[in-house]
Amino acid sequence: MGAISIEQLLKSPAKLIEEAESGQVAIVTKGGRPVLLAIPYDERLAKEDVYVAVAVRLYQNEVVSLGRAARIAGLSLSEFIDRLGALDIPVIRYPPEELERELAEFG
């Protein structure tokens, strides 16, 4: 795995492509801190992991529903829920204030 600074990337974008073509993962840094992980593209990645990653991010940012995210990921709803659980991402979105209000109503 190689590291490429933003400055190096701007001067020589071909270096990032060379890393990818050789199958190497590259980290792009800004001020010494990682800002981008560049992963070489292959069919397996496109069919499995990328779709799941995109679906998780869209669900996490409340862009799509749980069901829609599962479809994007190409997983059943229960499989997608399991994947979210493995990533410690809550499936039920319940604001703490609303929970407190409802508990107060019952108490």
Tokens representing residue 14 in the block: 């071909």
- pTM of the predicted structure, to 2 decimals: 0.52
Q: For residue 74, name the pLDDT band (cuts at 50, 70, 90).
A: very high
pLDDT tens, residue by residue, 34-43:
898 787 776 7
Domain count, the chain: 2
Kindly state whether residues 77 and 32 are assigned to the same domain: no
Tokens representing residue 6 in the block: 């933003």
Kindly state whether residues 11 and 57 are assigned to the same domain: no
Q: Which carries the bigger pLDDT value, residue 43 or residue 92?
A: 92
**Where are the strands (E) in the chain, listed by range?**
2-5, 26-30, 33-38
Per-residue pLDDT, 29? 92
* Domain interval for residue 93: 41-107
Which helix or strand (DSSP H or E) is residue 37 part of? strand 33-38
3-state secondary structure of 69: helix
Q: What is the mean pLDDT of the chain?
A: 85
Per-residue pLDDT, 46? 64
Count each helix (H run) and each strand (E run) in the chain, helices first. Answer: 7, 3
Average pLDDT over residues 55-74: 88
**Whole-number Å distance between alpha carbons of 36 and 101:** 41
